[in-house]
Structure 1
């Protein structure tokens, strides 16, 4: 069985409509806010004013789930590393669309021959008496140059124009700014006299009022507010806002739902962040049977996750103690520390120390140790919206690993015997990594891709040389490069069921040491076999899963909120490994 978690996020968008009638008319907007209704009036001087209405839209959500060993942190650390809480689900960018209310008079003729359209960027530019001298398309709107305005409205010049045509122009202007991640833009018809076949269209860009935080119990309000890079009075760039919310939701103890709401300040819009957070300390005790025969199948672990909720740096500490084989065959201590930097990069430091004392190797002393110290620096890249309703979240990362071992028992996954056991000999790994990952959410599921390259120049420490390597593996060299690739796809089915497809590849140009080999067998690769039952320099892995709708016993017992998930799996796993020299 497996556990799953999903969230849906909601938001708001802006829309604006107006009504006009006649070829030489005066347009008056009566009422304010949601009650604003444009009316046709006689040509009487009046003060120009504007108003807007707000309507709902949606922030979507989907999470890609992958099988297989970790690419970013490495399979050897994952086997003995602490059990961490997964990051929050994927939060794709705001899919904000204008929603128009039907208005009366859509078929009414505004001008028998449209001579010009003036796109204006501020209410002060509107001429209540009309702009009869304008010819063609002009624009003073920041971000909407004359060429873009002509592309939107040029086809209407020289012909009869009706109210519905002007509303369509307003809709297209709003859509134009939505495509530029500025959906809080309202195109409207201000009060005016339409003279000489010239219409004025006012385009108002939404400005940020306040960033409001609601519902948080443990994380400080000011720290959450400071994560949002938008400032009071600035244009609301939803691309930036979405990236900031994604960053907030990468913390496993906090989930944020963003929305836009009318501000108390005229002409401004507030960003509202609805927070659900949990107590920032999670201890655990666990049992699994992921071990190997020589060290004991039954494994017992305990540890904790602690989250800093005070400084705004989202510091997280994880620790785990793991043992097996009657608390004697394996003792592994592992830990990880991560830090969210103010410029929205992430630094992670992690490591482990393991000792083994296998019991089935006869009179030979095959006790061994393995330790690792590593770091990763992650840089989130701006969310891409290349196709409508598809958002690409991606990041790059780089890091360094130092590993030392005097046995392959931790990676072999095989029985050790007096004749074949052990490969005992001290060697050290000193290598660099560079990786890229991408996650895409769409209406039927989500897709994840990751690739990482590992390499070492060799000779970086006393036992990081060809001699030490070849005492273990005759074909290995201290200077090497190898790559890993993973691809996974989740398809949502009716009733919250899902089909998940995933695959991994490792490729190298030479023999590798045991700690860098690709292992198959076990809960995260090919189920039904011992952990890392087969290892190779090059490897291939494929998984297909059918996941049932989740069941919550907590809710069955009457709880309002599901705190547990039971998912039944049907799966097919396939893997193959090969030694480079063979």
Structure 2
């Protein structure tokens, strides 16, 4: 009996141990299912949990960025840069992105010497600090200038004044303005300053003596005059060390000094990026050209121009607006010109609104000139003087004159040049305001200003050879052969008409020619131009459609040839 009890106690103990072991086994299986397994077992699973724990510790909230040191960007621009990096559970990577974007905002705004840094700090209350280091100019120097005032150059580049944070788009405009003077090239050089975060600037100047002269001898003569002309100009472009320009010019007939005498003077003042130009011309000539101005008859011209360079959408394009006023006082002429019926004195004051545009690309150059000229009898204009000078001429007149030029570089360095000019008006104009055709600049093969009209047009086309200087000596800088075609039309409004065609005014001129030319440029500004032209068409037609029975004085006819030449220097 006692023995049976011992056996029963032993069985109960064994069963109790088995139950405990079974319980451990179940807990171990549940634990193994709840922990992610990997190929390397438990140890590697534990290592994957560590980065998540570290990342959670590095996260923090950012509700505000405090920007220290900014004086150039607006609050809105700063907020726009850092706003995407505000919020809860942010990291140091977000702060770095905010710093980088803010710094980029400074650079895109043109402040290239500004940098942004993250100072050491503890983020409390969701506030993060960023420091802005504005690279101010510590020292400005002008280096290499021989003929231009150092102080004047500094005054014109105000963005580089000491203690200032330079705005580089403005710097570019100011440097471009300084470099408009063809005798001076200024280039800025920046380097780190002696103080941290500061910059030193050197304005390196490459300049030359601002005196220019030109002389030209040619055969650009008008009917009933000797066959050669001599013209010259002298100009100084840095008067008073203020970039003021003063110039003197002349044109005479060397074969007879009393035949043609034209003298001119100009004065140009730069002001706040614009220009004021004044000029005067004294003429004793039937027809002469002074720069872009045609002078008809004996008299004086006084003019004023305001030139405003306009903003350009691209660097390769520049354009100007010009406003002008002229006072023209012409004396009694020795002969009638153009559509004039009389040669009495005349005084008037026309206004001008002009536009000039230039587009330069690696392959081509395009230039457009437009001028709207108008006058009113409310000023010094005398209606009787206009009526005596030409039938139906009035002091309140207007016309639009323009010219478009295009040079295109073709394969193998060939060039094509085209020019289209013209004038339109609804008025009967005195000869001083009419459109000229004939001569070297319009229709070659004809004398200068062979025909005049109230309205008209001229067309020039040239094909230029590749540069040929390699076949000549070192005395040639550039040389090209060319073939050309010229066309001109001049029409007169309300020409005087009589029963006898011999006394009627010509209503329409049509001129055209073709030929070959040679253009040579040598060192030191020397040049030579030869154009041999053959007249293709020469028509002078009356209002009734008949050809005028009397050929105009000096007018070339179909088949006639003429050699135009000019030689000189320009430096």
Question: Would the TM-score normalized by the shorter structure come out above 0.5?
Answer: yes
Structure 1, residues 431-462: CA drift from partner, whole Å, max 9, x if none?
A: 1223343445556555544433222212644x
Structure 2: distance between partners of 1:550 and 1:156: 65
Query: What pairs up with 1:227-376 in 2 under 5 angstroms?
Result: 227-230=156-159, 231-309=161-239, 311-324=240-253, 326-328=255-257, 330-341=259-270, 343-356=272-285, 369-376=298-305
Give the deviation of 1:152 after TM superposition. 8.6
**Does the 8 A contact of 1:536 with 1:578 survive in 2?**
yes
Deviation at 1:357, TM superposition (A): 7.7
Name the SS of the counterpart of 2:350 in structure 1: strand
Is the 2:285–2:298 Cα contact (8 Å) retained in structure 1?
Answer: yes
In 1, the alpha carbon distance for the partners of 2:101 and 2:450 equals: 61
2:492 — aligned with what?
579
CA distance in 2, matches of 1:409, 1:194: 96
Conserved 8 A contact 1:502-1:543: yes
Is the contact made by 2:113 and 2:165 (CA closer than 8 Å) also made in structure 1?
no
2:326 match: secondary structure: strand
After superposition, residues 46-125 of structure 1 pair within 5 angstroms as 118=65, 120=67, 122=69
Residue 61 of structure 1 is matched in structure 2 by none
Name the residue aligned to 2:321: 396
Q: Structure 1 residue 510 and structure 2 residue 427: aligned?
A: yes
> How many angstroms does 1:354 deviate by?
2.0
**8 Å contact 1:508–1:580 — kept in the other structure?**
no
The CA distance in 2 between the partners of 1:323 and 1:530, in whole Å, is 17
- 1:424 is matched with 343
Post-superposition Cα deviations, 1:172-204, rounded to whole Å, max 9, x if no partner, equal 953x55664x24244545455797999876554
Counterpart check, 1:525 vs 2:454: no
Q: Secondary structure at the match of 1:437?
A: strand
Mark the CA change 1:214 to 1:533 in structure 2 (over 3 Å): closer, same or farther.
Answer: farther
- Quick one: distance in 2 between partners of 1:403 and 1:504? 24
Supply the distance in 2 between the matched residues of 1:488 and 1:178 (Cα, whole angstroms): 40
Q: Distance in 1 between matches of 2:132 and 2:413?
A: 42
Q: Distance in 1 between matches of 2:384 and 2:205?
A: 56
CA positional deviation for 1:299: 0.8
CA-to-aligned-CA distance 1:132-153 (integer Å, 9 cap, x gap): xxxxxxxx67425446754797
DSSP-derived class of the 2:385 partner: helix
- Determine which structure has the larger helix proportion and give its number: 2
1:540 corresponds in structure 2 to 457
Q: 1:249 to 1:199 in 2, by over 3 A?
A: same
After superposition, residues 26-41 of structure 1 pair within 5 angstroms as none
In the other structure, the counterpart of 2:392 is: 475
Cα deviations by residue, 1:473-511 (Å, 9 ceiling, x for unpaired): 212111122233444455566788765555444332312
CA offsets 1:372-423 (integer angstroms, 9 cap, x no match): 1112123344x44x4xx546544433222122335778996x8xxxxx9985
Residue range with higher mean Cα deviation, 470-479 or 571-580: 571-580
| Residue in structure 1 matching 2:354, options 424, 431, 435 | 435
Distance 2:196 2:255 in 1: 70
Is the CA contact (8 Å cut-off) linking 1:395 and 1:436 kept in structure 2?
yes
Aligned counterparts of 2:335 and 2:152: Cα–Cα separation in 1: 42
Instruction: Map 1:19-30; keep pairs closer than 5 Å.
Output: none
CA distance in 2 between partners of 1:536 and 1:258 (Å):
52
Question: CA 1:473 to 1:171, structure 2 compared with 1: closer, same or farther past 3 Å?
Answer: farther
Number of residue-to-residue matches in the alignment: 430
TM-score, scaled relative to structure 1:
0.60
Unaligned runs of 5+ in 2: 1-57, 288-295, 495-506, 508-571
CA distance in 1 between partners of 2:150 and 2:229 (Å): 41
In 2 relative to 1, CA 297–438 (structure 1 residues): closer, same or farther, beyond 3 Å?
same
Question: After the TM superposition, which of the residue ranges 156-165 and 218-227 deviates more from structure 2?
Answer: 156-165
Report if aligned partners of 1:390, 1:441 keep a CA contact under 8 Å in 2: no
Residue 467 of structure 1 deviates from its aligned partner by 2.4
For residue 530 of structure 1, report the CA deviation from its aligned partner: 2.8
Range with greater deviation from structure 2 (394-403 or 158-167): 158-167
Distance of aligned partners of 1:527 and 1:268 in 2 relative to their CA distance in 1, 3 Å threshold: farther
Indicate the structure (1 or 2) with the bigger Cα radius of gyration: 2
8 Å CA contact retained: 2:418, 2:461: yes
Q: Does 1:184 align with 2:112?
A: yes
> How far apart are residue 426 of structure 1 and its match?
1.9
The structure-2 alpha-carbon separation of the partners of 1:148 and 1:188, relative to structure 1 and needing over 3 Å to count, comes to closer
User: Aligned-pair distance for 1:118?
Assistant: 4.2
Q: What residue in structure 2 maps to residue 27 of structure 1? A: none
Whether the 8 Å contact between 1:480 and 1:510 is mirrored in structure 2 is yes
1:398, 1:434 within 8 Å by CA — same for their partners in 2?
yes
CA 1:321/1:441 → structure 2, altered by over 3 Å: closer, same or farther? closer
Q: Cα offset for 1:112?
A: 8.9
Structure 2 distance, partners of 1:496, 1:271, is 41
The CA deviation at 1:356 is: 3.5
2:85–2:94 contact (8 Å) kept in structure 1: no
Deviation at residue 306 of structure 1 after TM alignment: 2.8
Q: Deviations over 1:46-69 (max 9, x none)?
A: xxxxxxxxxxxxxxxxxxxxxxxx
Alpha-carbon distance in structure 2 between the residues aligned to 1:184 and 1:283: 42
Counterpart Cα distance in 1 of 2:266 and 2:431: 26
1:417 counterpart residue number: none
* Residue deviations 1:23-62 (CA, integer Å, cap 9, x gap): xxxxxxxxxxxxxxxxxxxxxxxxxxxxxxxxxxxxxxxx
- Give the conservation status (yes or no) of the 8 Å contact 1:119–1:203: no
Q: RMSD over aligned Cα, in angstroms? A: 4.7
Structure 1: state its 5+ residue gaps. Answer: 1-110, 123-139, 359-366, 415-419
Cα separation, partners in 2 of 1:368 and 1:265, compared to 1, 3 Å: same
Alignment correspondent of 1:216: 145
Distance 2:364 2:343 in 1: 47
